[in-house]
Amino acid sequence: MSAKLFSKDEWVGVLEGLKDAYEVYVPVKEGDFHNFRPLKEGTRPSFDFQNSRMSPKFLTEPQSERMFEYTLDEDQPDAHVLKEDKKELPSRAVVGIRPCDAYAFQLVRRNFDTPEYVDPYWVKRYEATTFVGLGCNDPCETCFCASAGSGPFDRKGLDVLLYDLGDAYLAQGLTDNGEALLGKTKGGKEPDEDAWKQARALTRQVAGKGSRRVPTDKLREKDVNALYEAPFWEDVAFSCINCGTCTFLCPTCWCFDIQDEVQTLPMVGDRMRNWDSCMFPLFTLHGSGHNPRSQKTERVRQRFMHKLKYYVDKYDDGIQCVGCGRCVQFCPVNIDIREVAERMNAL
Amino acid sequence: MIEYTENIRDIARRLLEEGTVDAFIGYKKGSVPMMNEPVLVRDPADVDVLHWDSNCGLNLCNYLTGRTDKVGILATGCNSRNIVTHVIENQADRDKLHIVGVPCTGVIDHRAVKRAVKHREISEVVEEPGGARFTVKGPGYEETFDKADFLQLNCATCRHRNPVEYDELVAEEVPEQENVEAFKDVEKIEQMEPGKRWDFFERTISNCLRCYACRNACPLCYCPTCFVDESKPQWVGKSIDPTDTMTFHFLRAYHCAGRCTDCGACERACPVGIPVRQFTKKLNKDCVELFDWEAGLSLDSRPPLDVYRKEDPNDFIR
């Protein structure tokens, strides 16, 4: 696999050059935080960040998208006929995504791309995306990626891995898609042995710092009913205000809701798909009026049981969490998944 | 305010041991700097988890809704006013509450602190006893700040730091702030041209996720089903269409008219830093100007939108 060394002076030009072949997403500073945005005229990429506030999951699952449109005007010949919303799904490159967030797409794929069911929008978007990850020289204190199957320089979800060497980026191709992208870059040079040495030293140094260890090793063997009935759920859930912050910021929360939005004059409608959250009472409200998770304790338990037990049991490949720490940092009431995992693991 | 912690533990222990209350609602120290977690203590042996400092910014009144047991609860000035509002609105029974008043010197604006240290990692924030200064520690740096420069905006203009309704206090009352210009920011918006004001609102909510952290952090929002969650009829779309998002924010604010204590929990809770108080504060200002009203100051007076007075300033209602 090939590699290239780009000086930081030429970096923005390199990204601009990729725009011919890709829609390029880059981290952009917006007020107090960064988010990934398309590189357009006037966009100023900013790689001086720990992680984006919103996870890049919107690249494959936008918060809201129109799936169909229709008319309810009985005078029209196509009244009540759902017409698929035509979507442009161009080749895209997301540059600067953190390894944990890129790995998250692998977990989420289990839900959207199965032998039985394929979500066409998610899969097409995923396949059209090249993931150019930026290794974490300075992981957040709320991160626990190394305990969640990922790591500061984890390659699993990436096509290209970037090492930030201070005044240059060392870009290492990891897949055919990554090779193709590197082949399309202008500028850069063959990395010398010194660059590789620096990259290896960086990896060792960051691994040595060690992110917080969150024990999850016993979750698989725990009895599901014992965990479900564990005495601590009411305690864990007490402070929860049932907002959607944790689920909306989470790179691995994949749930959505489909809603029709109908307007009069003219009588037309859109069938929308929006992010949903298991924290919301409406999430499980049945048509009958019955709600199997009407209480917040049940909803909080569901979120943690899904991530730390049901998923673990179903796929036998670790937890449904990549340890990015967003929910830990931004939960308004400081519910900390690391502590909940410890309690579940120790039951 | 960190020095309140011991008193709070002693009071909670006594109340639980004497059986004055079945449970006590306070805060425990958070796992993340400048974030404390609301906690319910039932056993006197557990009171040592209780903690108080200048980062207790969520409104504990939230946790009273629907409770039928005897509860002890910590209440700062604004929180106590929300408890009063809860009692007036029949969401809490005063006889079942033991309100432990916390004379408050304000909550630290965690976003301002992060800005001040240029978004470097924060490992710990240590408050000095007395609370005038605090020190932020992170990898390779340590900086000390005056708390007065880092108050949440609602605290900086607060005129009711001391609880208005309580059964006992954790400490002596603190002096109230004088000569605060509470509505300067609202006036600035009022003076905008309508077009500019609309742009301002659109910009303000442009990052909104519709996660409803602002709504859910607010003790006033206790409806069994919020209008945004209704599907029959569907009052408002659930996507992130700006019209729907704006409808949510404006209607939320109007539902708080005459009830909001400007506790700041909504703004503090927002994961993307939207200054949602800009909406509620306008209505607080209107209530002061039109009805000489601030919410939750007394158990004996009804909020302006559910009373009729002959001296009402509006012609149409007289």
d(CA B69, CA B23): 8
Instruction: Calculate how close chain A gets to B290, using CA atoms only, in Å.
Output: 33
> Residue A43: how many CB atoms within 10 A of its CB?
16
| Mean pLDDT (chain B, rounded) | 95
B256 lies in a domain?
Answer: yes
Closest chain A residue to B271 measured between Cα atoms?
A: A330
Tell me the angle at which helices B194-205 and B242-255 cross, rounded to the nearest 10 degrees: 100
Closest chain B residue to A234 measured between Cα atoms?
A: B40
The secondary structure of residue B197, as a DSSP letter, is H
Closest chain B residue to A245 measured between Cα atoms?
A: B211
Q: Check A243 against B238: CB less than 8 A apart.
A: no
Find out whether A67 and A272 touch, Cβ atoms under 8 Å: yes
Residue B198 has pLDDT above 80, yes or no: yes
> Are residues B217 and B166 part of one domain?
no
> Are residues B237 and B219 part of one domain?
yes
Contacts of A58 in chain B (CB under 8 A): none
Q: Check B217 against A241: CB less than 8 A apart.
A: yes
Find all residues with CB under 8 Å of A276, minimum gap 6, and list them: A255, A256, A257, A283
Contacts of B24 in chain A (CB under 8 A): none
Residue A67 has pLDDT above 70, yes or no: yes
Which residues of chain A from 83 to 122 reach within 8 Å of chain B, CB to CB? Answer: none
- Whole domain around residue B276: which residue ranges? 181-318
pLDDT tens by residue, A246-277: 999 999 999 999 999 988 888 999 999 999 99
Average pLDDT value for residue range A305-329: 97
Buried b / exposed e across A118-132, counting CB within 10 Å, b at 16+?
ebebbeebbebbbbb
Contacts of A64 in chain B (CB under 8 A): 239-241
B38 lies in a domain?
Answer: yes
Which residues of chain A from 235 to 254 reach within 8 Å of chain B, CB to CB? Answer: 238-239, 241-245, 248-249
Residue B310 has pLDDT above 90, yes or no: no
Q: Which two tokens stand for residue A190?
A: 């063959």
Instruction: Calculate how close chain B gets to A218, using CA atoms only, in Å.
Output: 23
> Are residues B155 and B47 part of one domain?
yes
Average pLDDT value for residue range B135-141: 95
Residue B315 has pLDDT above 90, yes or no: no
pLDDT band at B231 (very low <50, low <70, confident <90, very high): confident
Tell how many helices (H) and how many strands (E) occur in chain A.
12, 11
Find all residues with CB under 8 Å of B25, minimum gap 6, and list them: B38, B39, B40, B41, B60, B63, B64, B71, B72, B73, B74
| Mean pLDDT (chain A, rounded) | 95
B123 lies in a domain?
Answer: no
Say if B318 is an interface residue toward chain A (CB within 8 Å). no
Asked which of A227-236, B23-32, B192-201, B304-313 is least confident by mean pLDDT, the reply is B304-313
Q: Which is nearest to B57 in space by CA: B107, B132, B100, B126?
A: B107
d(CA B282, CA B275): 13
Sign of the alpha-carbon dihedral angle for B109, B186, B193, B316 = positive
> Residue A80: how many CB atoms within 10 A of its CB?
11
With 0-12 / 13-18 / 19 or more C-beta atoms within 10 angstroms meaning exposed / middle / buried, residue B44 is middle
pLDDT band at A210 (very low <50, low <70, confident <90, very high): low
Q: Check A241 against B238: CB less than 8 A apart.
A: no
d(CA A188, CA A9): 11
Task: Please state whether the predicted TM-score (pTM) of the whole model is above 0.80.
Answer: yes
Average pLDDT value for residue range A109-137: 96
Find out whether A181 and A93 touch, Cβ atoms under 8 Å: yes
Per the rule left: phi > 0, alpha: psi between -120 and 50, beta: everything else, B249 is: alpha
Distances A73 to A81, A262, A264, B200, B263 between C-alpha atoms, Å:
11, 12, 9, 37, 49
Which residues of chain B from 75 to 134 reach within 8 Å of chain A, CB to CB? Answer: 111, 114-115, 119, 121-123
B132 lies in a domain?
Answer: no
Q: Which pLDDT score, from 0 to 100, does residue B193 have?
A: 97
With 0-12 / 13-18 / 19 or more C-beta atoms within 10 angstroms meaning exposed / middle / buried, residue A110 is middle
Residue B138 has pLDDT above 70, yes or no: yes
> Are residues B83 and B200 part of one domain?
no
Q: Which pLDDT score, from 0 to 100, does residue A202 have?
A: 95
Q: Check A239 against B271: CB less than 8 A apart.
A: no
Torsion, Cα of A142, A146, A148, A150 (10° steps): 110
d(CA A160, CA A18): 14
Count of structural domains within chain B: 2
A107 pairs with which residues across the strands? none
pLDDT tens by residue, B108-118: 999 999 999 99
Say if B51 is an interface residue toward chain A (CB within 8 Å). no
B73 lies in a domain?
Answer: yes
d(CA A136, CA A155): 12
> For a pLDDT cut of 70, what percent of chain B falls above it?
100
Locus of tokens 């409104």: B59
Of B31, B229, B269, the CB nearest to A243: B269
d(CA A301, CA A340): 10
> Are residues B187 and B174 part of one domain?
no
> Are residues B186 and B318 part of one domain?
yes
Using DSSP, state whether B145 is helix, strand or coil: strand
Q: Which pLDDT score, from 0 to 100, does residue A161 have?
A: 98
> Are residues B165 and B298 part of one domain?
no
Using DSSP, state whether A4 is helix, strand or coil: strand
pLDDT tens by residue, B153-184: 999 999 999 999 999 999 999 999 998 999 99
Contacts of A31 in chain B (CB under 8 A): 273
Contacts of B234 in chain A (CB under 8 A): 259, 261
Residue A257 amino acid letter: D
Residue A62 has pLDDT above 80, yes or no: yes
Distances A59 to A23, A125, A321, B112, B313 between C-alpha atoms, Å:
11, 7, 18, 30, 53
> Are residues B34 and B157 part of one domain?
yes
Instruction: Calculate how close chain B gets to A249, using CA atoms only, in Å.
Output: 9
Using DSSP, state whether A32 is helix, strand or coil: coil
Which residues of chain B from 133 to 192 reach within 8 Å of chain A, CB to CB? Answer: none
Distances A198 to A136, A194, B281 between C-alpha atoms, Å:
14, 6, 54
Q: Decide which of B178, B197, B225 is a domain's last residue.
A: B178
Helix runs in A148-289, H state only: 176-184, 193-209, 224-228, 233-237, 245-249
Q: Which two tokens stand for residue B164?
A: 């208005």
Radius of gyration of chain A (CA): 22
d(CA A9, CA B224): 56
Predicted complex ipTM = 0.94
Tell which of A333, A335, A342, A343 to mutate to test the B interface (max B CBs under 10 Å): A333
B15 lies in a domain?
Answer: yes
Q: Which two tokens stand for residue A52?
A: 């984006």
d(CA B91, CA B56): 23
Q: How many alpha carbons lie under 13 Å from residue A234 in its C-beta half-sphere? A: 5
pLDDT band at B307 (very low <50, low <70, confident <90, very high): confident
> Are residues B186 and B168 part of one domain?
no
Q: How far is CA A84 from the centre of its chain?
A: 26
B275 lies in a domain?
Answer: yes
pLDDT band at A96 (very low <50, low <70, confident <90, very high): very high
- Find the distance separating the first CA and the last CA of chain B, reported in whole Å: 48
> Are residues B210 and B173 part of one domain?
no
Q: Which pLDDT score, from 0 to 100, does residue B255 have?
A: 95
Find all residues with CB under 8 Å of A122, minimum gap 6, and list them: A60, A61, A108, A109, A112, A113
> Are residues B185 and B169 part of one domain?
no
Q: Check A64 against B240: CB less than 8 A apart.
A: yes
Q: Which pLDDT score, from 0 to 100, does residue A180 have?
A: 97
B213 lies in a domain?
Answer: yes
State residue A72 phi and psi, 5-degree precision: -110, 10
Q: Which pLDDT score, from 0 to 100, does residue B91 have?
A: 96
Q: Check B115 against A32: CB less than 8 A apart.
A: yes
> Are residues B91 and B75 part of one domain?
yes
